[in-house]
Chains A and B, each alone.
Chain A
Amino acid sequence: MQNYANPTHFLRLVRVLLPVTAGLTTGLLAVGLYLALFVAPADYQQGETVRIMYLHVPSAWMAMFVYLVMTSAAIGTLVFRHPLADVAQKAAAPLGAAFTFLCLTTGSLWGKPEWGTWWVWDARLTSVLVLFLIYLGIIALWQVIEDPGKAARLVAIFTLVGAVNVPIIKFSVDWWHTLHQPASVFRMGGPTIAASMLWPLLIMAVGFTTLFLTLHMLAMRNEILRRRLRRLSMLAADGAAPLGVVAEPAE
């Protein structure tokens, strides 16, 4: 693992892994979409609307998975001071926000025909909305602090505070929801689900995960290049950009 602390090694690893994950993602999403749109049956209650679930549930899963990735990266930044951890953390935040946004919009599109309104203060949607706000806060914190090293440590602290808070938020929103809407509302998914629906769902979920991994690697590569560029620009501004510097890998 320490070997990949060196960004140049990491960039080499990306070059090897990228075609694999990109190909895997394309294949999985193609199969998953085919199954979700054409093979899986329409629900006897919800009709065709159930097909939104194949997007909604995987993106909800990604919203949490990306936060998990960011939390481990935050620990990597604060505890192990791994140089790639804050790159990973910064690259993941906008992707997590995008998946969370997707989860919210698909949830809303599913809610309109099912519940008759575009937005319902359903426990799960509300929790995801709060998670979305936390993602936006993390992105804002990245943007306003200029020094990447300092930003990384402060964002890592906030990410961990959020990680402790997310289960509490989930618990309190569930409690709040049962308090205000005791009537049973049909929930998406559920413990019992037919195999014809489960397979497309699993394949889409795995496809979304590999999609995230691919994009995450690309975004990390961008971030490494951005830091290299920043360093070189600073050297150039100091009037001390010797020839060798450009060939030297970023640190």
Chain B
Amino acid sequence: MSQKPQAEKRQAAIQTRRSPLAALLVRDLRIGRRIGGAVSMGVVFFLCLVTVTPFAVGPDQALLARIGPAILWIAALLATLLGLDRLFQADAEDGSLDLFLMSETPLELIVVVKCLGHWLLTGLPLVAASPIFGLMLGLEPAALARVTASLLAGTPALTLLGAVGAALTVSLRRGGLLLAVLILPLSVPVLIFGVAAAGDPVVGFKTPFLILCGLTLAAVALTPFAAAAALRHAGD
């Protein structure tokens, strides 16, 4: 960062310590692993939604196989958004957020790393579980692969969008429902292209999948700024 000769001594010191962002990722993953519930709860909720849907639409195998990708996507959407309200709240309550703000690391990057940690803990297990749940809905192997790929590409965008809602509702005690109300309309594009990539026979896989990847990239590029701005204003 600095080109001054005096800074060279510092450089050695910097290299011996971990970068702040890596330390944050390790910390979040460690907390997730120790508490445990975070990882399994999302998948269990996902399973519950997949289980409940056939009771609503009937046990017709053909119908379930046809709407299976949509069911998996709705379940992933809800499982992602409902687990997000604590993303920044825990840090805001115990004072860690204040220290994030006082770090030299930009808050935007901290937001991205928090989202990455959360996605690894909750989004990735959903993606990994989706082929198994897809089998329960009678999906073909090709459809299973498409659903899994589309969830892999799309769930990061959902986590990032949800992070904006989590940052906006960080100071509210019961912000979970409001988060969903705020973010569900905004996640319509991801849902449309995700489901289309997952299982639309007409349009094929490539076009919607590429658009889905574009949406995720756009979310990576834009939402951290909104979430960080909201976090800066939430303190007062």
Contacts and interface: CB of A to CB of B under 8 A. Distances in A.
Q: Do A and B touch, yes or no (CB under 8 Å, in the complex)?
A: yes
Interface of A: 78, 130, 133-134, 136-137, 140-141, 144-145, 147, 149-150, 153-154, 157-158, 160-162, 164-165, 168-169, 171-173, 175-176, 179
20 contacts: A130-B188, A137-B181, A137-B185, A141-B168, A141-B182, A149-B236, A150-B236, A154-B234, A157-B164, A157-B168, A158-B226, A158-B230, A160-B226, A168-B189, A169-B188, A172-B193, A172-B211, A175-B193, A176-B192, A179-B203
Interface residues of B, number: 29
B184 to A, nearest CB: 7
Contacts of B211: 172
Interface residue SS majority, chain B: helix
B100 to A, nearest CB: 18
Most buried by A among B188, B211, B223: B188
Nearest to B214: A168
Nearest to B215: A168
A171 B218 CA distance: 15
Given A154-B168, A154-B233, A172 B178 contact: no
Contacts of A141: 168, 178, 182
B151 to A, nearest CB: 17
Nearest to B229: A157
Nearest to A177: B192
Contact of A176 (B171, B196, B218): B196
B132 interface: no
B217 interface: no
B7 interface: no
B200 interface: yes
Interface string B125-160: 000000000000000000000000000000000000
Contacts of B164: 157-158, 161
